[in-house]
Amino acid sequence: MSAEAACPACGATFVALRSRWIERCRGCGLLRQVALLAPLAGLLDETAAAPALVALRQANARRSLALLQALGPRGQLLDVGCGHGWFLAAAQAAGYQAEGLEPDPRMVAAARRLGQTVIDGDFPQALDPARRYAVVAFNDVFEHLADPVAALAAARDALVPGGLLAIAAPSANGAFYRLARLLAVLRLAGPLARLWQRGWPSPHLWYFTPATLQRLITGQGLTFCARRRLPAVGWRGLGARLAMDRRTAGVGALPASRWVLAGLLALLLPVLWLLPSDSELLLFRRTGEAA
């Protein structure tokens, strides 16, 4: 990513923040990560990923699909970066004809073991250009894309007129993100780096707010139509989620410490519902007559 590149949402320039590896757009406030570290071999514990995320992702899939069903008819659905296939399974149960697209062969195999239809390859190159969908979904994927404008154009073209684009992504307005930013000011940068997945094989390249995401998308043949907060953490899988990153999996030889931290987070969960959400779902409709 070029340091001189203009903001994809408003065209303004970026300025470096205190961390130096995060920049903010001077115009709209969109955040991006620059000067990425090389992927660290063995950093992500793949065996911990599924138990860490499955309960939360399945619950959020049901929340997302309930909103999609309220706004449009069921039909063909594409889940970009479908991962383990949990959203696909929920979509099928809700009456959609769902298929996924996934570049990671391990995730393709995992989703197919659940009986899901998955296209093996990158978005949008692996898609049949003649296929059209009632829904195109990006679940915790859009913030990883190097060129969000090109991805939006491809997603719009893959929708039927009146079709829905669903983007669930972390929010820079969230309570955890604001706390991590404060800790970084106090020279405790670890939590902020963890939220950005810095040094992971697929880090967050962008951190949106609902406002910056709407600004990026609205006007590109897509109109905003709905928004819903999604839980960023849940009761189940907290310990395994902390174990995903081997740098924080147990603080050296003290694996019990992560369970203490998981317990503290669990106690805070009811309070988090009163604070700004760290994950948001936004829906956009392709301009045109209803499908």
Q: Where are the alpha helices (DSSP H) in 24-116?
A: 46-71, 86-93, 105-113
Distance between the two ends of the chain, CA-based, in angstroms? 37
Contact 10, 213 (CB under 8 A): no
Q: Taking the C-alpha atoms of 244, 30, 140 and 35 in order, what is their torsion angle to the nearest 10 degrees? A: -40
What's the Cα-to-Cα distance from 4 to each of 15, 16, 149, 216, 225, rounded to whole Å?
10, 12, 17, 18, 33
Q: Which residue bears the tokens 């969960």?
A: 269
The DSSP call for residue 35 is S
Residues of the chain with pLDDT > 70, as a percent, come to 77
- The model's pLDDT over 240-261, given as tens digits with 9 standing for 90+, comes to 555 555 555 443 333 555 555 5
Q: Taking the C-alpha atoms of 153, 62, 214 and 126 in order, what is their torsion angle to the nearest 10 degrees? A: -10
Q: For residue 41, what pLDDT band results from cuts at 50, 70 and 90?
A: very low
DSSP element (H, E) containing 144: none
User: Can you give the three-state secondary structure of 12-56, one letter per residue?
Assistant: CCEEECCCCCEEEECCCCCEEECCCCCCCCCCECHHHHHHHHHHH
Residues of the chain with pLDDT > 90, as a percent, come to 64
- The model's pLDDT over 212-244, given as tens digits with 9 standing for 90+, comes to 999 999 988 999 999 999 987 655 545 555 555
Contact 60, 168 (CB under 8 A): yes
Q: Which residue type occupies 71?
A: L
* Gap between the Cα atoms of 110 and 116, Å rounded: 9
As a whole number, the mean pLDDT across the chain is: 85
Contact 244, 45 (CB under 8 A): yes
Model-level pTM greater than 0.85?
A: yes
* Gap between the Cα atoms of 52 and 132, Å rounded: 33
What's the Cα-to-Cα distance from 86 to each of 34, 111, 113, 132, 246, rounded to whole Å?
31, 8, 11, 22, 24
Between helix 210-217 and helix 148-158 the angle, nearest 10°, is 60
